[in-house]
Structure 1
Amino acid sequence: MKHEALDLKTNRRHPWSLGQKLRRACWILIWGLLGRPGLRAFSPLRILLLRLFGARIGEGVLVCAGVKVLMPWNLVIGNYTAIGEGVEIYNYGQVHIGKNCCVSQRVWLCTGTHDYKLPSFPLIWDDIHVGDGVWLAAESFVAPGVTIGDSAVVGARSVVTRDLEGWSVHAGNPCVLIKPRPRA
């Protein structure tokens, strides 16, 4: 479901309250000081901070240095998933990452965009769902509203703008089906 944040044409108010804006400001400060820098060994601290701000994170998860999360309260990560260095989770909408996933370095999971049909380009967003056992290779980009099926592989630097079926290998810009993924 797509959501809209602000339409200057109709002068609607921003959907976030002052309390939500303050929560976000606290998150930016704390994450910037304690969460983003450091070694891989600081993953437990990062996970603690994410959980304190509302993220739902399973056990055995790794969150590497340089990860950026816009709104941790909109983040769900399943058990034994690794989030690589420099991953950007731009999550106005919910981002659900399944269990046993590998989100490689500098991947972008982007739930927000702008409605180009309106002159004011209002912010809109839609959720992203990544199934279990998925590998998002380095520097791939996943657009708003995308669902990636279980055990899919997305090649490096791919641009995913449509849903991807599970148990298959996809790559490219735009991302296309390359071949089925063998089942072990």
Structure 2
Amino acid sequence: MLQHNISNSDAYQRPVFGIKNKIKRAIWQLVWLILCRYSPIIFHSWRTTILRLFGAKIGNKNYIYPNIKIWAPWLLETEDVVTIGPGVEIYNPGGVFLGDHSILSQDSYLCGATHNYDSIDYDYISKKIIVKRYSWICAKAIILAGVTCGEGSVLGAGSIATKDLEEWTIYSGNPSKIIKERKKIA
């Protein structure tokens, strides 16, 4: 029988986040569950208030749906008239910025971290995601760590953005590729 000696220095067994971070996130998740998760859809201002209490910088007239998941609200910043639609998940250890009139459609996913799979230490890497004004992240689309979605860009349904998206351009596929330019509306 093959036996493995695994020590506490094994990077695959070391926690990435400390106990204080885990407790803070557990309190956040419990508060969201109790106060927001089952709130009526039209209670957008109530949910933005709760997010602000947990350190989120939220602009005016944001439309934040009740059944979303935000990993760390204190690392979320939005400008005005931003929509975070039903089922959206924001994993934001590196931070997330959402510009004016940006939309995250249903079940889209922002993944702000990864690991260095070429390192024996399997280093945890977090990077900020930026979605600039008038950008639209369509249903079930995924944005990976460090990606900037240029102003007015569109990431098509089910697509995956592994690299920055150009301004006023429509992308689709996995990995996403340019489909065509978008008419500038602002």
Asked if 2 retains the 8 angstrom alpha-carbon contact of 1:53 and 1:72, the reply is yes
Asked if 1 retains the 8 angstrom alpha-carbon contact of 2:48 and 2:58, the reply is yes
Question: By how many angstroms is 1:12 displaced?
Answer: 7.9
Partner amino acid for 2:101? N
Question: By how many angstroms is 1:14 displaced?
Answer: 4.9
Q: Deviations over 1:45-70 (max 9, x none)?
A: 21111100000000010001211000
Q: Which residue number in structure 1 is paired with residue 146 of structure 2?
A: 145
Secondary structure of the residue that 1:25 maps to in structure 2?
A: helix
Q: Which residue number in structure 2 is paired with residue 41 of structure 1?
A: 42
Partner amino acid for 1:55? A
Q: Deviations over 1:121-154 (max 9, x none)?
A: 3322111011100011000000001001001111
Say yes or no: does 1:27 pair with 2:28. Answer: yes
**Aligned partners of 1:104, 1:135: CA distance in 2, in Å?**
8
Partner amino acid for 1:27? W
Q: Which residue number in structure 2 is paired with residue 70 of structure 1?
A: 71
Q: Which has the higher contact order (CA 8 A, sep 6+)?
A: 1
Secondary structure of the residue that 1:113 maps to in structure 2?
A: strand
Asked if 1 retains the 8 angstrom alpha-carbon contact of 2:170 and 2:182, the reply is yes
**Aligned partners of 1:71, 1:181: CA distance in 2, in Å?**
32
Asked if 2 retains the 8 angstrom alpha-carbon contact of 1:36 and 1:68, the reply is no
Q: Which residue number in structure 1 is paired with residue 128 of structure 2?
A: 127
**Aligned partners of 1:36, 1:118: CA distance in 2, in Å?**
39
* Matches for 1:1-184 after TM superposition, within 5 Å: 8-9=10-11, 14=16, 16=18, 18-184=19-185
**Aligned partners of 1:119, 1:36: CA distance in 2, in Å?**
39
* Identical aligned residues as a percent: 37
**Aligned partners of 2:123, 2:155: CA distance in 1, in Å?**
30
TM-score (norm: length of structure 2): 0.88
Question: By how many angstroms is 1:114 displaced?
Answer: 1.7
Consecutive unaligned residues of structure 1, counting only runs of 5 or more, are: 1-6
Q: Deviations over 1:23-58 (max 9, x none)?
A: 222101101222222321122221111100000000
When Rg is computed on C-alpha atoms for both structures, the one with the higher figure is 2
Partner amino acid for 1:164? L
Question: By how many angstroms is 1:163 displaced?
Answer: 0.4
**Given the superposition, is the C-alpha separation of residues 123 and 37 from structure 1 closer, same or farther in structure 2, using an over 3 Å criterion?**
farther
Partner amino acid for 1:137? C
Secondary structure of the residue that 1:150 maps to in structure 2?
A: coil
**Aligned partners of 1:63, 1:8: CA distance in 2, in Å?**
40
**Given the superposition, is the C-alpha separation of residues 181 and 13 from structure 1 closer, same or farther in structure 2, using an over 3 Å criterion?**
closer
**Aligned partners of 2:14, 2:86: CA distance in 1, in Å?**
38
